[in-house]
Amino acid sequence: MELTGKIIAVLPPQSGVSGRTGNPWMSQEFVLETHDQYPRKCCFRVFGEDKIKQFNIQSGEELTVSFDIDASEWQGRWFNRINAWAVNRNVQQPAVPVEEPAAPFAQPAATFPPAAEPAGEGSADDLPF
């Protein structure tokens, strides 16, 4: 899945040591806001110190983030994880619509052609109206 928008928050990195493997790990979360009519916010995670450095995501950047969604259960509750796997910086700025000012005293355009003269009796048009 992909989402395009502006990075509005860069949360501090988290790190630790895996209890299963004993290897160190690092992750960092970022908040992206879309440019839709009703903007949405998405908090996504980048896992791994190498990816965090490779992506080098900064606040205020315009990005397209490719991510996977996964859920896990802990003590009977379910939690979603949105994990980014690619970041694209080749994003065009959203276009801002420009409104034309209304002309004062503008005349409305005619919507129908002028009525034709009625045809005489016995014409090819037999409609009664």
Ramachandran sector of residue 53 (left: φ over 0; alpha: ψ -120 to 50; beta: rest): alpha
Other Cβ atoms closer than 10 A to 126? 6
- The predicted pLDDT at position 11 comes to 97
Output the tens digit of pLDDT for each of the chain's 129 residues.
Answer: 999 999 999 999 999 999 999 999 999 999 999 999 999 999 999 999 999 999 999 999 999 999 999 999 999 999 999 999 999 998 666 555 556 555 556 555 555 556 665 555 555 667 676
Q: What is the pTM of this model?
A: 0.67
Please provide the DSSP assignment of 50-105 as one string: HHHHHH---TT-EEEEEEEEEEEEETTEEEEEEEEEEEE---PPPPPP-PPPPPTT
